[in-house]
Structure 1
Amino acid sequence: MTATGTGTVGTFCLVLHSHLPLLARHGRWPVGEEWLYQSWAHSYLPVVATLRELAAEGRGQLATLGVTPILAAQLDDPYCLRGMHDWLGDWTLRAHSAATRLPDLAAHEHRVSTAATAEFEAHWRHGGSPALRALRDSGAVELLGGPAAHPFQPLLTPRVRAFSLRAGLDDQALRLGARPAGIWAPECGYAPGMEHDYADAGVRRFLVDGPALRGDSALARPVGTSDVLCVGRDLEVTYRVWSPRKGYPGSAEYRDFHTWDHPSGLKPARVTGRRVPSERKEPYAPALAQHAVERDARDFVDTVVARLRALRGSTGRPALTVAAFDTELFGHWWHEGPAWLAAVLRLLPEAGVAVRTLGGAIDDGLVGDPVTLPECSWGSGKDWQVWAGPQVADFVARGGDVQRDLLSAVDTVPAGGGPSLRPDVRDPLADLLVDQALHALSSDWAFMVTKDSAAEYARSRATTHAGRVAELSGLLREGRRRAAQRRVAHWTDAPVPTFGHVDARDLARPA
């Protein structure tokens, strides 16, 4: 039965977005690989396994998944795959090491870690792309795309913005066999007119945060005069799970993320209470947590049903509610999150709610009148302050310099004459310049500074990438290719672009 049928309360869409920044590389992948491997083990493995299990029950259109090109590259990288397998083995060894001190926790961690290793070996040994592609091909999920290197798109010049978006969509087409029809724009960042960029790139739908629609997120809506649809995150429903101040993961029974058994690196405590210090928290009890999962899943389903009924009453037609989260919430930050997801996705249809992907909801006709969107994001204030506020004014200025240096290098005829880029041959130095520029323009650096989360690291990374762009651009404009090659050889990390398909010729202005 479709969402437009009278037998349903309305339609629910779950959207999960997976993203981790590309950390420092010293000839290999991230120095801070623990970030990647923790999220991979505790979120990506169990979430994909949960969706695959539900699909095997005959359920379709379970969720809409976004995986940023940066993360997709890491999940497919041979070095990361080997490192992940080693990390899973170490997890099991750490569990065994705690057996005499914390026997119940050690037994739980042994079961979870060995199950994760089996999941990895069965479904992920050739990379993340095969695992995601199998889910999509089964009809269980819709996959979203995004621009390369996760830039805050409103701060890019139209030419660089379009190039970054094409590069990201091309990356997904190469990995997964098809270009996505929808995207989760980095930080849900939007500037008026960007819908036309999306239309030119073949993007048919994108996410915005609910306040951009003044809370009217009950339907997908065409943006301006385009036929590109925006879909709003319903904060009334989303914040029931997790908000800046509250949500299910903070319940007393769930595993506490911030309390560690330092000898083993395991997390031995439950939340117990928000103001209870770590040394006074109660031991984690999986059975107690499972009861909380069942309770909170039922509460969420009741919330969705009430919301959809209220929307139908106010609009006079079947409505849509979209709950959208970072994937890392489920399993990494909230240990019981994947089990909660499974319970919710089984209970919603029993309550008369149609579960759909974004594309499925649109196909069901849940589309309203056109809307004019303001400048917006999903950050603090729902404006651009996180990525363009006073704390990061230097990032904005540096981003402008990076884009000017990049474009001048690919457009300028170097000293000695001849085209800057030959149309028949790729230029490895120019490709590397583009790669460094894309990383310099990542939104992650400004976010980490504004939120004071590894701010020094973020400033160092942004400065390093921008400095390389300035230096390499200058050498290429002057025709000093040998000097550029020598300089690249002295970089402390391997001079290999993250996205091997990105071709600087696609950015150069036609001769």
Structure 2
Amino acid sequence: MEKGYWMLVLHAHLPFVRHPEYKDTFEERWLYEAIFETYIPLLQIFERLERDKVYFRLTMSLTPPLINMLNDTLLRNRFQKHLENLIELTEKEIKRTEKEPEFHSTAQMYNRKLRKYHKIYLEVYKCDLVRAFNNFQEKGNIEIITCGATHGFFPLIGIHRECVRAQIEVAVNNHKDAIHRAPAGIWLPECGYNPGDDEILKAYGINFFFVDSHGVFFSNPMPRYGTYTPVYCPSGVAVFARDIESSRQVWSSKGGYPGDFDYREFYRDAGYDLDMDYIKPYIHESGIRVNTGIKYHRVTGHEVELADKKPYSYDKALAKTRSHAEHFVRTRYEQIEYCNNLLHIRPLIVSPYDAELYGHWWYEGPYFLEHVFRIIDAEKRILPVTPVEYLGRYPLHQIVVPSASSWGHKGYNEYWLNPKNDWIYRHLHRGAEKMIELANIYKNHEGDELKIRALNQCARELLLAQSSDWAFIMRSGTTVEYATKRTKEHLSRLNTLYEEIKSENIKAKQLELLEKKDNIFPQIDYRVYCSG
């Protein structure tokens, strides 16, 4: 009989990136890479576990931007072409590396896997990955939860409560349309919790959410069992807190499993290594070098320069996932035994991660998860659970007021509010004021279809501007120019539409272009921003 419980939570999210005005964009590749490195490999693992009758449970957020992109016809077609382009590259790589045995088998591996994924995507999943994940929810293996509509960071946009309500209501409605059921839980964007937000969650039927460890540790009153059981907010919404130890074992790039010297090195890629004339058809059309996903080297060592990385062995790396999975399960059992003796409970260990860590950043990560579930099923000392299942077994828990918190650097919003990105918030707040004003003025408006369309597009533009991804990118220093451009563009469009609506001078052709470009949430109703 199990002595404790393990809750795996995967947060699958990407910002909404869709550029029909360009043939080739750097940022759309984020989605393509996530599909063939994370989402399809995860689905393949679920299928193997189901085939072998291995008991597995996990919770997975599919955020509204990700759902909309995965269901978009333009992006589906572009992903298919992107995959076919990579398959062509790997075929050339097989020939190029014929006399380089240390690289040849890796080239063959990529070709084999990409061909398989291409066939599966088209013939098995029919290009519909949302439905593929939902099939496993229908079977009871996974619990799909939602997130903020565009991953807006609630603690910083919450100065206007209408904005938090809109993020939640639009997300819930989108989830119902795509998943065909109401979401039982939510992943708060960036785990950002502001006391009182749970009341809004409750109003929309959300029964649970997740916070970082200190969000519960510093609750009032202090939690009797730490993070080893959920707690309830005064509203009755349950809170599950991240377990520090199990997170560190996977998250840490140096001390965690992904930093093992035999695993694939993420930062060295054929897109930068190979001769320009050879690689040009497979990078950005401008000739700017980008990652292709074809990588031939292993981590080798933490202080080793990229140029000195050693060749990667796929088979050797996969063997490591088994030993690391054994270690992970063993340490979870030791953790549970300790809690059994100290707290006299069957503890719950909550392990949340970005889904894209598994496969994209840590190439072998999906196989690690497969081994973890197989080992747990064979030993039957730990039971994997979803939040709904756990609360069904144990409905009574302590009532506390969780602390304001987030995950990320220092744990209190700092990554999303600092000198590199703080300039955006006065503009976001002013945009919110304009949107709320319009919603209140026209809350009973009927008949003028053009005005209703313009109001709905205003709502889309504000939601897109509020994405926490833009502030995150500005702070991290990666594609800062793009994040800045997206923030300014959405706010500019909102401001232009605001003036056109107020002056009764809506430009129909320009509105149509915006609707085609920023086409997220086709069923949105601007009245979600009404006050009261």
Q: Give me the TM-score of the superposition, normalised by structure 2.
A: 0.88
Gaps of 5+ in 1: 1-6, 414-418
Q: Which residue of 2 aligns with 1:214?
A: 217
Partners of 2:162 and 2:530 within 8 A in 1: no
Question: Equivalent residue of 1:183, what SS?
Answer: strand
Q: 1 CA distance for matches of 2:512 and 2:122?
A: 36
Bigger Cα displacement from structure 2, 127-136 vs 117-126: 117-126
Bigger Cα displacement from structure 2, 295-304 vs 447-456: 447-456
Deviations 1:364-412 (A, max 9, x none): 2175311221211112111011122333221121111110111122223
Deviations 1:38-61 (A, max 9, x none): 111000000112112212333455
Q: 2 CA distance for matches of 1:407 and 1:244?
A: 43
Q: Which residue of 1 aligns with 2:94?
A: 99
Bigger Cα displacement from structure 2, 27-36 vs 392-401: 27-36
Question: Equivalent residue of 1:390, what SS?
Answer: coil
Please show how residues 5-404 of structure 1 align to structure 2 within 5 Å.
7-23=1-17, 25-27=19-21, 31=25, 32-102=27-97, 103-154=104-155, 155-156=157-158, 157-214=160-217, 216-223=226-233, 225-243=234-252, 245-262=254-271, 263=274, 265=292, 266-351=294-379, 352-365=381-394, 368-404=397-433
Q: 2 CA distance for matches of 1:29 and 1:407?
A: 36
Q: 1:152 to 1:314 in 2, by over 3 A?
A: same
Kindly provide the amino acid, as one letter, of the partner of residue 189 in structure 2.
P
Partners of 2:7 and 2:384 within 8 A in 1: yes
Bigger Cα displacement from structure 2, 181-190 vs 83-92: 83-92
Bigger Cα displacement from structure 2, 275-284 vs 32-41: 275-284
Partners of 1:81 and 1:125 within 8 A in 2: no
Deviations 1:53-89 (A, max 9, x none): 2123334552101011001011111111112222222
Kindly provide the amino acid, as one letter, of the partner of residue 142 in structure 2.
V
Partners of 1:256 and 1:267 within 8 A in 2: yes
Kindly provide the amino acid, as one letter, of the partner of residue 76 in structure 1.
N
Q: 2 CA distance for matches of 1:358 and 1:61?
A: 14
Partners of 1:29 and 1:80 within 8 A in 2: no
Deviation at residue 496 of structure 1 after TM alignment: 4.9
Q: 1 CA distance for matches of 2:392 and 2:196?
A: 25
Q: 2 CA distance for matches of 1:185 and 1:422?
A: 34
Kindly provide the amino acid, as one letter, of the partner of residue 451 in structure 1.
S
Partners of 2:56 and 2:373 within 8 A in 1: no
Q: 1:306 to 1:366 in 2, by over 3 A?
A: farther
Q: 2 CA distance for matches of 1:171 and 1:490?
A: 23
Partners of 1:298 and 1:347 within 8 A in 2: yes
Note if 1:431 corresponds to 2:432. no
Deviation at residue 312 of structure 1 after TM alignment: 2.1
Note if 1:485 corresponds to 2:508. yes
Q: 1:182 to 1:171 in 2, by over 3 A?
A: same
Deviation at residue 24 of structure 1 after TM alignment: 5.4
Q: 1 CA distance for matches of 2:418 and 2:518?
A: 33
Kindly provide the amino acid, as one letter, of the partner of residue 212 in structure 1.
G
Question: Equivalent residue of 1:499, what SS?
Answer: coil
Q: 2 CA distance for matches of 1:108 and 1:355?
A: 32
Note if 1:412 corresponds to 2:441. yes
Q: 1:163 to 1:275 in 2, by over 3 A?
A: same
Q: Indicate which of 477, 481, 486 corresponds to 1:452.
A: 477
Gaps of 5+ in 2: 98-103, 219-225, 280-291
Deviation at residue 455 of structure 1 after TM alignment: 1.5
Kindly provide the amino acid, as one letter, of the partner of residue 247 in structure 1.
G
Deviations 1:440-484 (A, max 9, x none): 111111111112121121111101111111121122122222xx4
Q: 1:424 to 1:234 in 2, by over 3 A?
A: farther
Q: Percent identity, aligned pairs only?
A: 24
Deviation at residue 273 of structure 1 after TM alignment: 1.0
Q: 1:367 to 1:232 in 2, by over 3 A?
A: farther
Kindly provide the amino acid, as one letter, of the partner of residue 54 in structure 1.
L
Partners of 2:210 and 2:242 within 8 A in 1: yes
**Number of matched residues?**
495
Deviations 1:320-352 (A, max 9, x none): 001111111111111111111100011123331
Partners of 2:10 and 2:355 within 8 A in 1: yes
Partners of 1:51 and 1:62 within 8 A in 2: no
Deviation at residue 137 of structure 1 after TM alignment: 0.6
Task: Note the aligned Cα RMSD (angstroms).
Answer: 2.1
Q: 2 CA distance for matches of 1:344 and 1:26?
A: 41
Q: 1:267 to 1:349 in 2, by over 3 A?
A: same
Kindly provide the amino acid, as one letter, of the partner of residue 227 in structure 2.
S
Partners of 2:262 and 2:313 within 8 A in 1: yes
Bigger Cα displacement from structure 2, 294-303 vs 83-92: 83-92
Q: 1 CA distance for matches of 2:419 and 2:402?
A: 24
Question: Equivalent residue of 1:100, what SS?
Answer: helix
Question: Equivalent residue of 1:463, what SS?
Answer: helix
Question: Equivalent residue of 1:427, what SS?
Answer: helix
Partners of 2:54 and 2:377 within 8 A in 1: no
Q: 1:42 to 1:34 in 2, by over 3 A?
A: same
Q: 2 CA distance for matches of 1:126 and 1:101?
A: 32
Partners of 1:199 and 1:228 within 8 A in 2: yes
Q: 1:489 to 1:134 in 2, by over 3 A?
A: closer
Q: 1 CA distance for matches of 2:457 and 2:517?
A: 7
Bigger Cα displacement from structure 2, 319-328 vs 27-36: 27-36
Q: 2 CA distance for matches of 1:287 and 1:141?
A: 29
Q: Which residue of 1 aligns with 2:286?
A: none
Partners of 1:432 and 1:495 within 8 A in 2: no
Q: 2 CA distance for matches of 1:89 and 1:256?
A: 24
Q: 2 CA distance for matches of 1:488 and 1:189?
A: 34
Question: Equivalent residue of 1:105, what SS?
Answer: helix
Question: Equivalent residue of 1:348, what SS?
Answer: helix
Q: 1 CA distance for matches of 2:23 and 2:49?
A: 33
Q: Give me the TM-score of the superposition, normalised by structure 1.
A: 0.92
Kindly provide the amino acid, as one letter, of the partner of residue 28 in structure 2.
E
